[in-house]
Amino acid sequence: MNERDFFNEQPETKRMTFACPHCRERGEYDVRWLRRTKKPQPPRHANEQDRARFAKSRDYMVRVDDMLACRNIRCRKRFEIPNSQSVVFIVPAR
């Protein structure tokens, strides 16, 4: 049983601000994410353990891009997006 059995996936782009570690210039970048929205039902072939996992799982977004190219034309170096921001849980709207 993998994530695709539990979630519907939808690509999304988020505009985020990062400072390039090479030239220190801050810029806005369009970062690709995958939104995983929990399916209304667990899959038919799910066993007891899968169902328990399904019940506990929540919608979340996972970052697709790892690297960005600096937008500063005098720099243009590639840098890694900080790892701490690779998964975001979505708080359900009330």
Binding site for Zn ion (CB under 5 A): 20, 22-23, 70, 72, 75
Q: Closer CB to Zn ion, residue 63 or residue 71?
A: 71
**Minimum distance, C-beta of residue 7 to Zn ion, in the bound complex (Å):** 35
Q: Which residues of 69-88 are buried (b: 16+ CB within 10 A; e: fewer)?
A: ebeeeebeeebebeeeeeee
Residue 40's contacts (CB-CB under 8 Å, 6 or more residues apart) are none
**Minimum distance, C-beta of residue 82 to Zn ion, in the bound complex (Å):** 15
**Minimum distance, C-beta of residue 81 to Zn ion, in the bound complex (Å):** 14
User: Reduced to 3 DSSP states, what percent helix, strand and coil does the chain have, rounded to the nearest 5?
Assistant: 15, 40, 40
Q: Closer CB to Zn ion, residue 20 or residue 31?
A: 20
Q: Closer CB to Zn ion, residue 60 or residue 79?
A: 79
Q: Closer CB to Zn ion, residue 9 or residue 25?
A: 25
**Minimum distance, C-beta of residue 26 to Zn ion, in the bound complex (Å):** 10
Query: Whose CA is closest to 25, among 85, 89, 68, 66?
Result: 68
